[in-house]
């Protein structure tokens, strides 16, 4: 399964459970003047999916497949979300989100 497929499956499963998540596209683009603009929430490090749980807590899900690992920035973002009272997880399968 590709990361994109897993991400869509997780979005659907979380929505069915009453949570709201949105794809957080993160990247860098060059303007016509040649300057670079970073986009996305908390770039670098922001999770693939962000939103809120059905009880109103901030929710961040970093989706990984195979042996891909979190970057330091991604790990720090998830830790910050959890420390602030939200839910931040790395999901490698649908089973990983069942605890939300």
Evaluate whether 54 touches 18 at the Cβ level (below 8 Å): yes
User: Model pTM?
Assistant: 0.90
**Mean per-residue pLDDT of the chain:** 95
pLDDT in tens, 31-79: 999 999 999 999 999 999 999 999 999 999 999 998 889 999 999 999 9
Residue 51, pLDDT score: 97
Q: Please state which of the four CATH numbers 3.40.1350.10, 3.40.50.720, 3.30.465.10, 2.20.25.90 is assigned to the domain occupying 3-97.
A: 3.40.1350.10
Length of the chain: 100
The candidate with the shortest Cα–Cα distance to 6, out of 92, 97, 99, is: 92
CA-to-CA distance for 77 and 82, rounded, in angstroms?
9
CA-to-CA distance for 14 and 18, rounded, in angstroms?
7
Evaluate whether 36 touches 43 at the Cβ level (below 8 Å): no
């Amino acid at each position: 399964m590709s990361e994109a497929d897993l991400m869509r499956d997780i979005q659907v499963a979380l929505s069915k459970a009453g949570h709201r998540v949105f794809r957080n596209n993160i990247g860098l683009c060059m303007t016509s003047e040649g300057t670079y603009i970073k986009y996305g929430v908390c770039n670098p490090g922001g999770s693939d999916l962000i939103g809120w749980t059905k009880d109103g807590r901030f929710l961040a899900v970093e989706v990984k497949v195979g042996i891909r690992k979190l970057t330091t920035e991604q790990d720090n973002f998830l830790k910050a979300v959890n420390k602030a009272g939200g839910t931040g997880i790395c999901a490698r399968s649908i089973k990983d989100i069942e605890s939300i």
